[in-house]
Structure 1
């Protein structure tokens, strides 16, 4: 059970990291570039193919969405994807887009489908978790953060909602069957507010830590 909790936490952190990549281009209202950035940024972070059907980001309204986000698997795994999303919605405080920190009023992740594939002693999302951890270490955090030209702005995220999720487990010992469990709806508040803004990698760390208790009750029924 603890392994699955950690895995879903990693999935959520990766999702936020991917979305943060879109936020910084969103200010230029170039949807095609946002799509390219999400796919490039996500693929670099996870070392798995990331595809996005559509991005719609409006500077005027401060709202946007990512639709049809799909993250494949690292090499060595057989299932089609590690996770898929129906949609990710965002609402920004447009007055802060050119400031530091940038304030994101709301991120809503709807219908996440997580596929946890066991291959020997490893799993697909354990592998992705390690890749994301390694990627996030490229960015300074805490006291090591120094503002310099070209450095990304800090973030405050007032609300993150994750709704209507499901996790499926695939493994050789299940003989072709998949074990499934519904994920709880989750609400995280005021990420980075106390610190007056945090680096995107710190957003990941906070999300991962907050997810553990919420997910535990959902995955307990799988007996893992």
Structure 2
């Protein structure tokens, strides 16, 4: 009987040690996942936008099934006065932890609050339109980039797939112009749902592309509408501005058409 009791004690102690080691392992893993995520954003970002992209920090919590990204700076294309196209102070991600072990990471929600965008208008284009064009060119119009002939076979199929159930951007501000003439206007909230669900998941660069194109198209619409309102207030070019607003709104609706069959609601 004593031997059986001793065996049970040892078994319980061993189990507790394994649990403790598992917890320590998760804590250590979370410490490494943040820097890995930050490096991934800072590496993939410039390839998508063709501009400077810098993420200040990232933290991952396997216990809570979440991640927080802070200080995402995206630069303007060359030729524009401001160095910044937009800045996202904080991005919160909530996901199903167990999906990290599956074929596709299942993200329940991505939430961005109080982002700031800069809208510069030129004679024939804007900084945001130029950024959209660069994204489109770099990502092949939303199509998956073809692997290079000399790329190892293992790398061609190793891209992790992602599903996003809900993306929400709220309380956004758009600054029109620069310097003393600059003005800031609010931008309507954006909600996108079920990104990548129909495809069984999309890659990180595809996900970033579809979200960026939708958001930037709406920034363009808000920017042109704000500029039109300013012109109307000054009694200048109201007719042409109204036409520009109509074109921008159409562009916002068409910007992500055909990229992925996700349900998107404003």
The answer as to 2:96 corresponding to 1:93 is yes
Partner residue in 2 for 1:184: 188
Q: Which runs of 5+ in 1 are unaligned?
A: 1-25
3-state SS, counterpart of residue 48 of structure 1: coil
Structure number with the bigger relative contact order (C-alpha 8 A, sep ≥ 6) is 1
3-state SS, counterpart of residue 201 of structure 2: coil
The answer as to 2:33 corresponding to 1:30 is yes
- The answer on whether the counterparts of 1:180 and 1:222 sit within 8 Å (CA) in structure 2 is no
- The answer on whether the counterparts of 1:27 and 1:97 sit within 8 Å (CA) in structure 2 is no
Count of aligned residue pairs for this structure pair? 193
TM-score by length of 2: 0.61
For residues 195 and 93 of structure 1, the distance between their equivalents in structure 2, rounded to whole angstroms, comes to 18
Judging changes above 3 Å, is the alpha-carbon distance between structure 1 residues 79 and 209 closer, same or farther for their aligned structure 2 residues? closer
Partner residue in 1 for 2:72: 69
TM-score by length of 1: 0.71
- The answer on whether the counterparts of 1:31 and 1:55 sit within 8 Å (CA) in structure 2 is yes
Deviation at 1:66, TM superposition (A): 0.8
Deviation at 1:191, TM superposition (A): 1.5
3-state SS, counterpart of residue 30 of structure 1: helix
Per-residue deviation, residues 141-163 of structure 1 (Å, max 9, x unmatched): 4xx99xx6333122210111101
Judging changes above 3 Å, is the alpha-carbon distance between structure 1 residues 217 and 73 closer, same or farther for their aligned structure 2 residues? closer
Determine which structure has more spread, i.e. the larger CA radius of gyration: 2
Partner residue in 2 for 1:161: 168
Q: Which runs of 5+ in 2 are unaligned?
A: 1-28, 148-152, 229-240, 242-266
For residues 225 and 72 of structure 2, the distance between their equivalents in structure 1, rounded to whole angstroms, comes to 27
The answer as to 2:58 corresponding to 1:55 is yes
- The answer on whether the counterparts of 2:38 and 2:58 sit within 8 Å (CA) in structure 1 is yes
For residues 64 and 181 of structure 1, the distance between their equivalents in structure 2, rounded to whole angstroms, comes to 29
- The answer on whether the counterparts of 1:167 and 1:180 sit within 8 Å (CA) in structure 2 is yes
Pairwise CA RMSD: 3.4
Judging changes above 3 Å, is the alpha-carbon distance between structure 1 residues 62 and 135 closer, same or farther for their aligned structure 2 residues? farther
| More displaced stretch, 120-129 vs 75-84 | 120-129
